[in-house]
């Protein structure tokens, strides 16, 4: 049986957000895809939900270049927060910079994925994420479950 | 003894001279008077000589003088005895005195003969004077030369005595400090020391005189002088102890380093600007890797999405337009990526090491395994490729690009053959990568090393044209050169130079 999961995407480009949505459309394991356009509001939202005991996302997809606080800062904040740090955070970015990769893992990112150029490759990557993280991996029990 | 003396003075055997022969009174007294007068003179001369000897202790040939004293005194004695013999016929005494005189005279003659050469070589007074004058002249010239050197020295020169008074200054010192000579000589040197250093100066000077040795003043500290107009001037000062007729002095050699300081400041400024421009470049690279690629990816993805979703309702033309849009975007993406690798290549922020060129070449070849297999190329690497100084990875990158080039531009009619070799040229090695490919028109020999320069259409050879530009950049960064020699249709040889590994003498 397949459980439905919630995914939060932090992404400031509507086009990229749309691509992710297109790729995950109709997936049996995705319950909802929530898009946050900047790091500051994403962090505020998550903290508020954790404080109120509301349901938290099962997976965060995080872009690095964001307006306001950067993806790295948001990642650091999430991993320092005891109520949020167990949520797997997957970096989804255009950057191939070694420095960005190293920094992300130092800040305890759960994986680092580079956005492929090609539509098929992009869709394939999203399906792999879905398959591995939502079907194969055992995720931590959700905060409000 | 007494008997011997008595016998000498015995007069009994002869008559007195007056009674021996017919003497007229006049004749007799001429003898007596003259002998006595001679005796007096001969007695006076030795006394004068002795007086000389006692007064002039620096006289040469003192023993000869004494011999003369003795010899003249004896001569005098002979004449005295001759005079008295008119009354006292002591001929034995006369004989004894004459014998002693004879002996002394001959001793003197022999002694004179012996010293004659050294006496002859004694300088005359005129010669001594001449020599003295010459010495004075030489000394004067030396002083004049010293004065001129001191005056013409490019450094400010200040001679200071133990008490700290300036004794001598040159015109450069006047220029550096803005004082005239008369305002400096005789004044304490602290006049030229800025207020904040003045307190320590006398004790520093004392310690210099306690242990005088040539050294730089204030090692490791920035030194400043105080000019007459109250401004300060940056200086470098060397101290030399000098022993003079008026006691120990210190000669300070002072260099005005205003120009040097300004040059250093300019250099620091340039370095800062360079660092900033490097930082800008890094920033550019980062921007290029993120921000330029994201929109491109969106163009590609949405063109593809459009084609997939609405392809059925589009005609062939519209679909080919979409295809062009995608292909153009892809090409731009690969150019951006090449630009990025180019900007990263040979950045030179890593230190050069001694590397084995053969290992680097082997690794480059391993990375090209697929194109080698595909083309069936035969690649020969010279057994004894040398060790060179290079940044790790950079040499490999150069080999990889050049080998890839040799495989890519192969001749369609023959099996590619590539040869890698090296030969020494002075302190550098010239590496060569020779192929039997399509070759390059010599007109383009320079152009091909430019960024994104391509000689062939994309339909024949793919690629952005960054490879050789990267090679050139890396080789340039290593202080080497890269060039190509080619015959169209026969093949090309690419050359590049690298500094030979310097043997490490001590670690």
The tens digit of pLDDT for each residue in A55-108 reads 899 999 999 988 888 999 999 999 999 999 999 999 999 888 888 999 999 999
Q: How many CB pairs under 8 A join A and B?
A: 51
Q: Looking at the predicted structure, is the pLDDT value of residue B38 above 50?
A: yes
- Taking the Cβ of residue B305 and every Cβ of chain A, the question of whether any pair is shorter than 8 Å is answered with yes
Task: Compute the distance between CA of residue B225 and CA of residue B193 in angstroms, rounded to an integer.
Answer: 5
Q: Looking at the predicted structure, is the pLDDT value of residue B197 above 80?
A: yes
- Taking the Cβ of residue B300 and every Cβ of chain A, the question of whether any pair is shorter than 8 Å is answered with yes
| Residue among A17, A117, A124 with most chain B CBs within 10 A, to mutate | A117
Write down the pLDDT at residue A1: 42
Name every residue whose Cβ is closer than 8 Å to that of residue B46 and which is 6 or more positions away in sequence: B68, B69, B70, B72, B73, B76
Task: Compute the distance between CA of residue A9 and CA of residue A130 in angstroms, rounded to an integer.
Answer: 13
Write down the pLDDT at residue B216: 78
Write down the pLDDT at residue B493: 95
Between chains, do B290 and A95 touch, taking CB under 8 Å as contact? yes
Q: Looking at the predicted structure, is the pLDDT value of residue B181 above 70?
A: yes
Handedness of CA B25, B28, B34, B37 (dihedral sign): negative
Write down the pLDDT at residue B37: 94
Q: Looking at the predicted structure, is the pLDDT value of residue B101 above 60?
A: yes
Q: pLDDT tens across B278-314, in order? A: 778 777 777 776 778 888 888 988 998 898 889 889 9
- Taking the Cβ of residue B432 and every Cβ of chain A, the question of whether any pair is shorter than 8 Å is answered with no
Site of tokens 């105080």 = B226
- Taking the Cβ of residue B322 and every Cβ of chain A, the question of whether any pair is shorter than 8 Å is answered with no
Q: Which of B129-133, B266-270, B355-359, B459-463 has the lowest mean pLDDT?
A: B459-463
Write down the pLDDT at residue B505: 44
Q: Which of B54-58, B214-218, B258-262, B375-379 has the lowest mean pLDDT?
A: B214-218
Cβ-based neighbour number of residue B55 at 10 Å: 8
Write down the pLDDT at residue A145: 41
Closest residue, chain A, to B283 (C-alpha): A97
Least CB-CB distance to B333: which of A22, A64, A117?
A: A117
Between chains, do B290 and A15 touch, taking CB under 8 Å as contact? no
Per-chain mean pLDDT for chain B: 87
Percent of chain B scoring above 70 in pLDDT: 97
Question: Please, which pLDDT band fits residue A143 given cuts at 50, 70 and 90?
Answer: very low
| Residue among A17, A94, A118 with most chain B CBs within 10 A, to mutate | A94
Task: Compute the distance between CA of residue A104 and CA of residue A106 in angstroms, rounded to an integer.
Answer: 5
Give residue ranges of A with CB < 8 Å to any B CB.
13, 15-16, 19, 22, 64-65, 93-97, 115-120, 122
Cα distance from B292 to chain A (closest Cα, Å)?
9
Write down the pLDDT at residue B281: 77
State which of B9-23, B207-221, B457-471 shows the largest mean pLDDT: B9-23
Task: Compute the distance between CA of residue B82 and CA of residue B42 in angstroms, rounded to an integer.
Answer: 14
3-state class (DSSP) for residue A82? coil
Least CB-CB distance to B290: which of A22, A94, A122?
A: A94
Question: Please, which pLDDT band fits residue B504 given cuts at 50, 70 and 90?
Answer: very low
């Amino acid at each position: 049986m397949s459980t439905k999961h919630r995914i939060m995407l932090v992404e400031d480009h509507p086009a990229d957000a749309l691509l992710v949505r297109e790729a995950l459309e109709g997936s049996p394991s995705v319950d909802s895809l929530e898009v946050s356009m900047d790091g500051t509001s994403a962090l505020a939202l998550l903290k508020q939900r954790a404080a109120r005991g509301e349901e938290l996302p099962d997976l965060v997809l995080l872009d690095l270049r964001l307006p306001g606080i950067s993806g790295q800062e948001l990642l650091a904040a999430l991993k320092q927060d005891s109520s949020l740090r167990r949520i797997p955070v997957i970096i989804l970015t255009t950057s191939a910079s070694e420095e960005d990769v190293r920094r992300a893992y130092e800040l305890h990112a759960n994986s680092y994925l580079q956005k492929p150029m090609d539509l098929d490759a992009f869709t394939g990557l999203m399906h792999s994420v879905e398959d591995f993280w939502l079907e194969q991996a055992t995720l931590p029990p959700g905060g409000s479950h | 003894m007494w008997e011997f003396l008595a016998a000498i003075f015995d007069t009994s055997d002869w008559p007195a001279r007056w009674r021996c022969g017919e003497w007229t009174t006049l004749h007799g007294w001429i003898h007596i008077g003259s002998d006595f007068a001679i005796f007096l003179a001969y007695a006076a001369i030795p006394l004068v000589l002795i007086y000389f000897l006692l007064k002039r202790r620096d006289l040469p040939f003192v023993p000869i003088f004494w011999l003369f004293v003795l010899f003249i005194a004896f001569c005098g004695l002979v004449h005295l005895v001759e005079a008295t013999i008119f009354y006292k016929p002591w001929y034995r005494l006369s004989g004894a005195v004459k014998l002693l005189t004879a002996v002394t005279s001959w001793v003197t003659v022999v002694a004179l003969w012996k010293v004659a050469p050294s006496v002859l070589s004694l300088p005359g007074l005129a010669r001594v004077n001449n020599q003295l004058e010459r010495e004075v002249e030489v000394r004067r010239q030396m002083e004049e030369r010293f004065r001129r050197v001191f005056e013409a020295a490019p450094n400010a020169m200040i001679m200071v005595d133990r008490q700290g008074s300036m004794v001598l200054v040159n015109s450069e010192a006047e220029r550096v400090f803005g004082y005239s000579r008369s305002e400096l000589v005789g004044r304490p040197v602290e006049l030229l020391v800025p207020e904040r250093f003045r307190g320590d100066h006398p004790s520093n000077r004392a310690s210099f005189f306690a242990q005088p040795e040539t050294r730089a003043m204030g090692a490791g500290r920035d030194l400043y002088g105080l000019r007459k107009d109250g401004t300060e001037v940056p200086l470098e000062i060397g101290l030399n102890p000098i022993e003079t007729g008026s006691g120990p002095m210190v000669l300070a050699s002072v260099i005005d380093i205003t120009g040097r300081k300004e040059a250093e400041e300019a250099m620091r400024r340039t370095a800062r600007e360079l660092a900033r421009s490097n930082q800008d470049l890094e920033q550019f690279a980062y921007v290029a890797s993120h921000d330029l690629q994201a929109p491109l990816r969106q163009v590609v993805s949405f063109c593809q999405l459009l084609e997939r979703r609405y392809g059925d309702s589009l005609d062939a033309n519209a679909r080919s337009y979409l295809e062009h849009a995608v292909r153009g975007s892809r090409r731009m993406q690969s150019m951006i990526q090449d630009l990025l690798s180019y900007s990263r290549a040979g950045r030179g922020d890593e230190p050069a090491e001694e590397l084995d060129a053969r290992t680097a070449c082997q690794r480059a070849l391993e990375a090209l395994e697929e194109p080698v297999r595909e083309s069936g190329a035969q690649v020969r690497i010279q057994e004894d490729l040398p060790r060179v100084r290079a940044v790790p990875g950079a040499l490999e990158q150069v080999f990889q690009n050049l080998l890839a080039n040799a495989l890519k531009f192969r001749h369609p009619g023959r099996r590619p053959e590539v040869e890698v070799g090296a030969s020494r040229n002075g302190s550098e090695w010239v590496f060569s990568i020779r192929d039997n490919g399509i070759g390059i028109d010599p007109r383009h020999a320079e152009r091909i090393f430019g960024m994104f320069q391509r000689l062939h259409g994309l339909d024949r050879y793919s690629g952005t044209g960054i490879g050789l530009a990267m090679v050139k950049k890396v080789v340039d960064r290593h202080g080497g050169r890269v060039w190509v020699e080619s015959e169209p249709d026969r093949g090309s040889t690419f050359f590049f130079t690298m500094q030979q590994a310097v043997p490490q003498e001590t670690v």
